[in-house]
Amino acid sequence: MLRSAATAAHLGIQGPLLLRISPGTVTRASTNGSSHLRSPFTTEAMAEGNKKLTAQEAYDLMKSGRYRYLDVRTVEEFANGHVEGAVNIPIMFREPEGMIPNPDFEQQVHHFFPDLEKHLIVGCKAGSRSAKAFEMLHKEYTNLFDNAQGWDGWVAADLPVTK
């Protein structure tokens, strides 16, 4: 909840104000009940403060056309389906002895995305590899976000996919 006269003035509201903010909506509680208002607080603006996104939030950002999707799953996982327009740079390789780190991961990302201000969303299967990639890259890439739900969350949300 947020109490702010400045926010009230910005939204054209007079009188006491208690706001609940969520992506795209502000709910105002008052003595007359609650009402929904159009909000300047978009999913994108909220994501700026929290670099972890749901699959739906990642998709919403991708729809803006300003974001690229960096898929850090294995080549085999990527070939079985991925986010449309995604770039695959595996953070790990599947070998007979198990998963091994890609020693050139950061160099490959920098080669493909030389602009450190590029808007990127990183994702994997379920969130753990993308969290690791995020930790490796977030100090250099200023507009980096993590699809914390990964491919599994993307598919569960019934978002568009391609092979």
Rg (CA), the chain: 19
**Using CA atoms, how far apart are residues 50 and 53, in angstroms rounded to an integer?**
8
> Catalytic site residue 130?
no
Residue 57: CA count within 13 A, CB half-sphere: 24
Sheet holding 67-71, edge to edge: 52-53, 143-147, 119-123, 67-71, 87-88
Catalytic residue among 53, 55, 83, 124: 124
Pairing of the two strands 33-38 and 25-30: antiparallel
Residues with catalytic roles: 124
